[in-house]
Structure 1
């Protein structure tokens, strides 16, 4: 994070610095440590691996199909929420919600802590990339055909086959209408990447909203409103994959479960780091249980003088 903050011209608080970290070099006034270098190298490796998996450079398992299988005989209709749209939303929605929680916490634009926004965005980005990596690996291992497989691929061995016959080998012939990447993608249905990423983001943002938005300061409507936005976007994004016939329902279910589980694991892992790095939460005495629970309890005690 030190590199990101330095590029933005933000000085990272000295209380978070590790005095024992080894400085390898200084570039344009930015100190580059071994940890920074390893993080950059790992990030590049993960991004390249995801690209290789998604582009078919690393081949997926080739599954056969049953002749005239109705489950993969739907027409290709495109995407209600395209991959590009999801990518934009995956950046803008967390940024807007995290910035909103920072604004609500300080009640002033001038007091917004850019470091805090960058910290939460960094954690969100790392988690989303982890989900995307796991999803891409699962897609390649399973190699399940999408509901519109026949329409997009038009396999050569499916022309004169007997209904119900299992066909192991085939070659897609619809190369004039669809690109190589489209034809590869036609057999990468399980699990749904839209569902896994959107539900990870939804649960993560609900966590951020819960621990950073103090009800006594913003009222009883704002917190549920922000949470509903995050969950609604996740729900719409995942269900659209079924209505578009881009995924089977079990693909969406598996993707949603994957995203939620990674989000829950990620929240548990980073909760201690969040409590140490968030200037708002550091000012409270938090319990060791779920972050935000003791915070809400302290506020309730202060406002109502009720002894728990």
Structure 2
């Protein structure tokens, strides 16, 4: 029993130390409750985890190769002509990254200039330099968009290599060495065949399911639309601008998806599955992984980004046993209670200054 107590007394401090290690906290409070230090180690660890996972999810399926599937001789769905991409993969990535970045930049700039001009926003510091709150917000919300973006790419690459479905232009780029479909049963399933076409084109022609263009373009369009709804839709006194902008984004995403059918790159079912997966990951990212729909009121902007939200009913008890109500409205205000009204009754929400990410 004594050995157990000794072991527990030694292990417990180690666990507490690990749980509060500084490299896990992206934002660290300083002596000034309105100034937060950006932890460069935590930022580097997060970037390494995210993009390291992206690299691994691409490298491993590439090394394992693509599944070699056969085909039916009378399958007309793989006899279309080869066409070049209307939207290349590089153009797709650039477009979607720029779309997310520009959307975040415009929305946050508008909020700070038009809506939050009277709000005393937190200040951020990187080493000995102060960072503008707009810059921190841009990197924060753009980083949120990258989480689902990377997961989308990882799922798509893995699925394409495992399934190995033939693209509509497969036979055109394969150029069968011995066309065994000329004689015999036209409905035979051919598994033993040799392609004489360009190896890189033949390899790509085995990656039809599901459409990566559709998944990525719809993900970025829907994520941007949901982000606008969360950050701008609730504070902008206009019922037309937001829906029009959201619809335009989704229309462009659908246009990119449909081009994969007209380019003979994907079957319609590949595009349909890609669209649904892109929309699902965008919604899941916004609602669960990053929770961008919480704390979007102007009063909530006095709280620093990237810190875990404090329960609305939480109270902070200091060593004196008294309840302290921190000032969250402005430095000159004597009250730290955010009051709201609902159904004619006022309610108090006590939000202590958080100390961990």
TM-score when normalising by structure 2: 0.64
Of 61, 67, 70 in structure 2, the residue corresponding to residue 61 of structure 1 is 67
Structure 2 equivalent of residue 100 of structure 1: 106
**In the alignment, is the contact (CA less than 8 A) between 1:157 and 1:167 conserved in 2?**
no
* 1:208 partnered with 2:227: yes
Q: Which structure is higher in strand share? A: 2
Specify the SS of the correspondent of 2:244.
helix
C-alpha separation in 2, matches of 1:242 and 1:72: 12
1:8-27 correspondence to structure 2 within 5 Å: 20-23=20-23
Which residue pairs with 2:79 in the alignment?
73
- For residues 283 and 42 of structure 1, what CA distance do their matches in structure 2 show? 27
Distance 2:47 2:269 in 1: 35
Deviations, residues 11-69 of structure 1 (Å, cap 9, x unaligned): xxxxxxx9922459xxxxx966478437515522431431453xx43212111011242
Deviations 1:79-117 (A, max 9, x none): 111111101101111111111211222236x98711111
CA distance in 2, matches of 1:69, 1:224: 43
Q: What CA deviation, in whole Å up to 9, does each residue of 1:279-300 have, x standing for no partner?
A: 857249x9x9xxxxxxxxxxxx
The DSSP-based 3-state class of the residue aligned with 1:268 is helix
Contiguous gaps of at least 5 residues in structure 1 = 1-17, 25-29, 289-300
Partner of 1:282: helix, strand, or coil?
A: helix
Quote the RMSD (CA, aligned, Å).
3.5
Counterparts of 2:48 and 2:301 in 1: how far apart (Å)? 32
The answer on whether the counterparts of 1:275 and 1:281 sit within 8 Å (CA) in structure 2 is no
Give the superposition deviation at 1:159.
5.3
- Partner residue, 2:284: 265
1:253 aligns with 2:272: yes
Asked if the contact 1:194–1:237 (Cα under 8 Å) also holds between the matched residues in 2, the reply is yes
- What's the secondary structure of 1:181's corresponding residue? helix
**Equivalent residue for 2:168, pick from 124, 129, 147:** 147
User: Is the CA contact 2:51–2:150 (under 8 Å) kept in the aligned structure 1?
Assistant: no
Instruction: Say if 2:263 is the partner of 1:244.
Output: yes
8 Å contact from structure 1 (residues 104, 218) kept in 2: no
Q: 1:91 aligns with which of 83, 89, 97?
A: 97
Question: Gapped runs of 5+ residues in structure 2?
Answer: 1-17, 25-37, 118-132, 303-308, 312-339, 345-357
Distance 1:74 1:223, change over 3 A: same
SS in 1 for 2:105: helix
Match of 1:9 in 2: none
Larger Rg: 2
| Match runs of 1:49-198 below 5 Å | 49-53=57-61, 56-107=62-113, 113-158=134-179, 161-162=182-183, 163-175=186-198, 180-198=199-217
- Which residue of structure 1 lines up, in the alignment, with residue 325 of structure 2? none
Secondary structure of the residue aligned to 1:189 is coil
User: 4+ runs of 1 displaced by more than 6 Å?
Assistant: none
Question: How far off is 1:251 after superposition?
Answer: 0.3
Tell me if structure 2 keeps the 8 A contact 1:144–1:189.
yes
Deviation string 1:255-292 (CA, Å, 9 cap, x unpaired) is 1111112122222213446636x6857249x9x9xxxx
Measure the CA separation in 2 of the matches of 1:98 and 1:38. 20
Counterpart Cα distance in 2 of 1:281 and 1:153: 61
Q: How many residues align?
A: 263
Q: Decide whether aligned partners of structure 1 residues 107 and 139 sit closer, same or farther in structure 2, where only a CA change above 3 A counts.
A: same
- Looking at secondary structure, tell me which structure has more helix per residue: 1
